[in-house]
Amino acid sequence: MYLAQPTRYDNMQYRNVGSSGLKVSAIALGFWHNFGDDDVLSNQRDIVHTAFDHGITYFDLANNYGPPAGSAEINFGRILHEDLAAYRDEMVIASKAGYYMWPGPYGEWGSKKNIVASCDQSLKRLGLDYVDIFYHHRPDPNTPLEETAQALDLLVRQGKALYIGISNYSAEQTAAIAKIFKQLGTPFIIHQARYNMMDRWVEDGLLNTLGKLNKGMVAFSPLAQGRLTDRYLHGIPADSRASRSDSPFLDKDKVEPTIKVATQLNELAKNRGQSLAEMALAWNLKGKVVSSVIVGASRSSQLLDNLKALDKLDFSADELSAIDEILKAQ
């Protein structure tokens, strides 16, 4: 029988999400990869146990994570109920809806029909009465923001979600839907966005908007799909994701142009006494708006390595300047 480590809260940092009372672990475990039916359940269980034993309380899922879509929620739900049921109130469990999930006109995007049905399905797969955060996964150009906001507000009023978040919204879209949420009295607290040293689009307005609104941000892809690790410093390994022709988010054309930059960043990280991945995660956490960074893991040792980023989160002005100079060469 699993018993959580009594020291699990000793070394993790917890941050408030914006001006809300909710705190999340500075590092979160994401379920986009490695938790589908093609992955060994015992390994999934080991990763989840390791995460919780080291103070990770934020677990980030979505309805379409797998593969197949939905299987990550099913597998996490099984681990939760078999091993961690006694600790449910120590966890922040999040899910999302908005990307393609089932065929027909109601299986994606942001209609009330899709959002309510998606949340109901996720709760069933997870075996939960509610999730702590429910996100709209992407803005819908064909549905009024008012409808999407009202659907998310309804989930809170029905007791299916405690807080509401959005993901992949622009600064302008975020400000617009935040205004609607404020009118409705919806506990909208968080935005989840792609953010890392190589992809800083959120700095073009979104971070500033979230700061003004007193909302938090959770960063996904903080390691740029592995480009901000030592995985590709010496080329593309034959067994890597970037070497596969079926990889939709990472290929050699995306990796090869960044190897020189990653190598230079790696030298800077060494001077800080960190690995490149540790420095990349620490860099994401340097600002006040970012509440947490989401990491994936294919094994527990990988997760433990990422947690070392918390040992040194501070940067000198010279280090930040050097990082910016290196990144200008991208």
7: part of which helix (H) or strand (E)? none
Query: Structural domain of residue 134, as residue ranges?
Result: 14-236+276-314
The sign of the torsion formed by the CA atoms of 74, 77, 82, 84 equals positive
How many independent structural domains does the chain possess?
Answer: 1
Q: Is residue 104 part of a domain?
A: yes
CATH number of the domain that residue 18 is part of = 3.20.20.100
Helix axes 276-284, 259-272, angle to 10 degrees: 90
What does the alpha-carbon distance between residue 52 and residue 65 come to, in Å, rounded to a whole number? 20
Nearest residue to 112 (alpha-carbon basis) of 77, 87, 149: 149
List the chain pLDDT tens, one digit each, 330 residues: 999 999 999 999 999 999 999 999 999 999 999 999 999 999 999 999 999 999 999 999 999 999 999 999 999 999 999 999 999 999 999 999 999 999 999 999 999 999 999 999 999 999 999 999 999 999 999 999 999 999 999 999 999 999 999 999 999 999 999 999 999 999 999 999 999 999 999 999 999 999 999 999 999 999 998 899 998 776 555 454 544 444 555 556 566 668 889 999 999 999 999 999 999 999 999 999 999 999 999 999 999 999 999 999 999 999 999 999 999 977
- CB–CB of 123/163 below 8 Å? no
- Structural domain contains residue 3: no
**Domain for residue 267, yes or no?**
no
Longest CA span, the chain: 54
List beta partners, residue 135.
96, 165
Tell me whether residue 242 is in a domain. no
Distance CA 259, CA 271 (A): 19
Residue 154 lies in a domain: yes
Q: What's the whole-model pTM score? A: 0.94
